[in-house]
Amino acid sequence: MRPPRLANRYAFGFIAAAILPMALVGLVVGFSLSAYLDQELRGSTRSLIESIALETGRYFQNARDHLLVYAGLLDGGTALRELAGVIGTTQRAHDEIRRIFVLAPGGAVALAAPADEGLEGRDMSGIRLAGLELGGNGGEGGFSRAFLSPIDGSVTVYAGVGLRDGGSVVMELDLGSVSAFLGPLRIEARDEIALVDERGRFIAHSDQENVRLQRNETAFGPGVYGERRLEDGRGRWLVRAAPIAGTPWRAIYYKETSRQRDIISSVLGVAGLVALSCVVGAAALGLGNSKALRGAVAAFSAGVRSVAEGDYAAVIPPPYAELSELSESVAKMAGAVAGREASLREAVAEREQLLKEIHHRVKNNLQIIVSLLNLELGQHPDGPAAAPLEDSIRRVYAMSLVHQLLYANERLDRVDVADYAGRLVSYLSGALGGPLDAVDLKAPEGTVIPPDAAVPFGLALSELVSNAYKHGASPDGTHRLSVSISVDQGELALAVRDEGPGLDEAPPEDGAGRGLGVTLVRALAAQLGGSVAWVRRKDGPGTAASFRFPKPA
């Protein structure tokens, strides 16, 4: 089966990376759209309520304009009776004007239209008009607070203008007509429009019931303008208040926004969901890709590693098509390396054989030397040269033993210390002048040293054992030696102990007084960078010789 293409997986990863910005774009678009919808909603509410406030302001201004005309006529000397007709005409032409009064200084009704004798003389000083003290300055005027009629529940507002003589002209306005005017201005039937007085009470409302039950505006504090969001049991509202010019009152638009809010929430929800899905999808794709890539690369690397470690027959299937050539190259390389290694092994084996042959010949030659020396010794067994000849035979044997071990070994670069020492002590045990009664050899298994250290080590061992044999016999004439070899702190330590009479003193440093053996041992220690020492044993009779040198790697 053909492996998949890495490029395709990379493309998947790229798609995953691209989805994230797409999610961000989705969110930005969602938020922008909802912000735009919200702005539109707010804008339409604002422009509408501002125009309502403007129109309402004009309505009240119109009332005041009428009053200013009457005040001008009265101040200009027009008689009350002449004015009555004009006022009556105005009142009849405007449904919202319930009555018009001319008040005498002090607040008593001097003239009422429509004419009502019962009202004349009535004290209206309890009705305070903002900006005008009844009986105050001529020409100035204002509006009263709104009153709920105790008779019919209608809302009444008084507008007044002062006269020069201290009197005033006052118009009683029925705001019920304003409520009727507000209803059709709503954008949707669920919306509400209201006028509130300075205390926050509804004085006109698209739903007159709010006025009749003296409800309060709750979205804002008294006298506060601006925009608020409000939520109550009936829905969610966008509320906007605008001042009505020339009055202390406000016009308020209550836009019921549940449907719009639902749309905006849906847009945001969809954008959020899309973004969330994108993020989750991208994460899943990315993680899946990453995991698959890591797994494939790890398996491929493991295959290559096993080849590098010598498993040239290992098969490395390529995880992706793009790696097929690499896989084949590694296989070819493995084949080539395997071939070259086989040749090299052959050559090395040949050379090793040759080397072993050399060691064999060296060993044979040294054996011949030993034989010659033995022949020489046989000619003069008691001659003065017998002892030096025996020493020489022993030394040459020690050397030949190294070569014997080497050619018998698989490895030509190391000699097993325990094996070597064992064979050498065994040889010495028979080669010395008399039999050793007991030799206790202790040597750590597996300790090896190179041949160039093995020869001086073997010579030193031979010398120390011979020396101990010669000078360390027990008082009963037996020869009990202990030979121990250990590795201590990177040093190879050889200790030879006898049970002889012991040294009176250690051999001098220059070796004088002990003959060639001691000199030789010192020289061998120096050659190996080590040391040698003889001491009287503390644990019994006898001498302990210690030969130490840094163990070669």
Partner 1 sequence: MERIRHLGPLTGAIAAVAAAAILASCAPRAITIGVPIGLTGPASGIGYHGRNGIELAAAEINAAGGIAGRMIDLRVVDDLESPEGGLEAARILAEGGATAVVGFMSSGAASLAIDYLSERRLVVLSPTASSVDFNARDDYFFRLIGSNDNQGRLLAEEAAARGYRRAALVYNRTNRSYTVSVLEGFQAEFERRGGLTVMLDPVAEAAANDYAAVAEEYAASGADCLVVAASSFDAGSIAQELALRGAKAPVFAAMWARTPDLFVYGGATVDGAVLVGAADPVAEDAGPELSRFAEAYRARYGEGPLFSAVFAYEAMRALEAGLRATRGAGGQALKRALLGVRGLPGLQGAISFDAFGDVIRPYFLFEARDGRFERLR
Q: Does 135 bind partner 1 (CB under 8 A)?
A: no
Q: Does 121 bind partner 1 (CB under 8 A)?
A: yes
Q: Please, what is the Cα angle at 257 between 255 and 262, to 5 degrees? A: 170
Gap between the Cα atoms of 33 and 252, Å rounded = 27
Q: Does 198 bind partner 1 (CB under 8 A)?
A: yes
β-sheet bridge partners, residue 129: 132, 144
Q: With CB under 8 A as the contact rule, which of the stretches 126-134, 159-167, 374-382, 441-449 interacts with partner 1? A: 126-134
Candidates 150, 430, 477, 490; binder of partner 1 (CB under 8 A) is: 150
Q: Does 79 bind partner 1 (CB under 8 A)?
A: no
The contact mask relative to partner 1 for 275-294 (x = CB under 8 A, - = no) is -xx--xx-xx--xx------
- Least distance between partner 1 and beta carbon 130 (Å): 14
Q: Does 483 bind partner 1 (CB under 8 A)?
A: no
Q: Does 381 bind partner 1 (CB under 8 A)?
A: no
Q: Does 118 bind partner 1 (CB under 8 A)?
A: yes
Q: Does 123 bind partner 1 (CB under 8 A)?
A: yes
Distances in Å between the alpha carbon of 510 and those of 184, 515, 519, 546?
Answer: 133, 10, 7, 17
Q: Does 216 bind partner 1 (CB under 8 A)?
A: yes
Burial of 469 (C-beta count, 10 Å sphere; 0-12/13-18/19+): buried
- Least distance between partner 1 and beta carbon 196 (Å): 9
Q: Does 125 bind partner 1 (CB under 8 A)?
A: yes
- Least distance between partner 1 and beta carbon 291 (Å): 9
- Least distance between partner 1 and beta carbon 257 (Å): 20
- Least distance between partner 1 and beta carbon 317 (Å): 22
How many residues appear in the chain? 553
Q: With CB under 8 A as the contact rule, which of the stretches 6-14, 53-61, 144-152, 161-169 interacts with partner 1? A: 144-152
Q: What is the DSSP letter of 5?
A: P
Candidates 30, 107, 142, 319; binder of partner 1 (CB under 8 A) is: 107
Render 111-151 in DSSP notation, one character per residue: EEES--TTTTT-B-TTS-BTTB-TT--TT-EEEB--EE-TT
Gap between the Cα atoms of 496 and 546, Å rounded = 7
- Least distance between partner 1 and beta carbon 223 (Å): 7
Q: Does 105 bind partner 1 (CB under 8 A)?
A: no
Burial of 477 (C-beta count, 10 Å sphere; 0-12/13-18/19+): exposed
Burial of 411 (C-beta count, 10 Å sphere; 0-12/13-18/19+): exposed
CA 17 to centroid of chain Cα atoms: 19
Q: Does 232 bind partner 1 (CB under 8 A)?
A: no
Q: With CB under 8 A as the contact rule, which of the stretches 194-202, 308-316, 391-399, 517-525 interacts with partner 1? A: 194-202
Q: Is the dihedral of CA 332, 336, 337, 341 positive or negative?
A: positive
DSSP, collapsed to helix, strand or coil, labels residue 38 as helix
Residues 489-518 that bind partner 1 (CB under 8 A): none
Q: Is the dihedral of CA 132, 137, 138, 139 positive or negative?
A: negative
- Count of residues near partner 1 by CB under 8 A: 36
CA 299 to centroid of chain Cα atoms: 28
List contacts with partner 1 (CB under 8 A).
106-107, 118, 121-128, 147-148, 150-153, 198-201, 212-214, 216, 221-223, 276-277, 280-281, 283-284, 287-288
